[in-house]
Amino acid sequence: MSDLKPAAVWTTVAGSRTNVTNVQPSVSAADILISSVMKKILRPHRSLMIQICPKHRPFISLLEFLNMPKIAVIGGTGIYNPDSFETIKTVFPDTPYGKPSDEIMIGKISGVEVAFLFRHGRSHRYPPSSVPYKANMWALKELGCEYIISACAVGSLQIEYAPGDLVIPTQFIDFTKKRDYTFFDKKIVHISIPDPFCTYLNRIFDDTAEKMGIRHHLGGAYVCIEGPRFSTRAESKMFRQFGDIIGMTLVPECQLARELGMCYCSLATVTDYDMWHEEDVSIEMVVKTMNECLAKVLKLLELGLPKIGKSDCDCIEAAKECGAL
């Protein structure tokens, strides 16, 4: 942060050390104690710096940290519903990877504080290949988010996954070609993600969908393609041999979340049967079906988000074990 003054007490919220340097006489022991306590009780961040100024006022207050949203929802324009989302503030942070797709809105859904981000930007200006995935995930992590809920539209590769169905995938297959896949470009980090989605979040939304009585599927492999074009008929028939649904935005979003130790769940709405079926896919078909299904996805979020508490999953362990955290 370029506006932070050097004459201050610094605490790095990143590792096990608390570095307190360049202390002025007017900085009390209480400042250092607060700094140390904040380090211990707050969720680990990779680069966030806290400055305690000489007047005993934290650059980012303890209260602000404790009120950081733990949950982020990434979705399209339709997923943002001003009637159910009570906006508190918006932020548009800088990251080492540039700006996120759009301003991040922090507010409440069913009383739960949530950070909401338009994946493609509010005006849908980023195609799937150009979404600033690294900036998005980094910004959400720095805001304190631990749980990522991704709402998206997908095509179906299997007859039983019908248009209008909700799918909570448990696997993905990456057929993208030119994306920025990792935060670790300058050192080798081999992260293990045999089960890339959070089992804890998947259970919550599976149980919620079951109680709502909506047609849904827990399980399935998401084939992620580069886009923005849809598949050819031959490609679609090939993808059917490997996966159950097909989309363009899961990768690298899902694996970046795991590198940062965040839990990730995809709520995928089936909008079409891709190109292997009788009817060809068009963007009009996708938008029409997605609009028809928005109400149940919004209700699923309203009922499911309050159930998220302390996870019993091991999503963060993979990041720790490979040295990502």
Tell me which residues are annotated as active site.
272, 274
CA-CA distance, 217 to 201, in Å (whole number)?
14
Q: Find, among 67, 52, 173, 66, the residue nearest to 114 by Cα.
A: 67
Which tokens is 63 given?
């209260």
For tokens 């306590």, name the residue: 37
Q: Find, among 155, 137, 121, the residue nearest to 227 by Cα.
A: 155
What is the chain's length? Answer: 325
The CA-CA-CA angle for residues 199, 200, 203, to 5°, reads: 80
Q: Find, among 166, 179, 172, the residue nearest to 206 by Cα.
A: 166
Q: Find, among 92, 104, 173, 95, the residue nearest to 145 by Cα.
A: 104
CA-CA distance, 180 to 10, in Å (whole number)?
32
Give Dmax over CA atoms of the chain in angstroms: 77
Check: CB of residue 77 under 8 Å from CB of residue 118. Answer: yes
Any bridge partners for residue 167, and if so which? 217, 268
Any bridge partners for residue 108, and if so which? 86, 113
| Element (DSSP H or E) covering residue 210 | helix 199-212
The CA-CA-CA angle for residues 67, 70, 74, to 5°, reads: 125
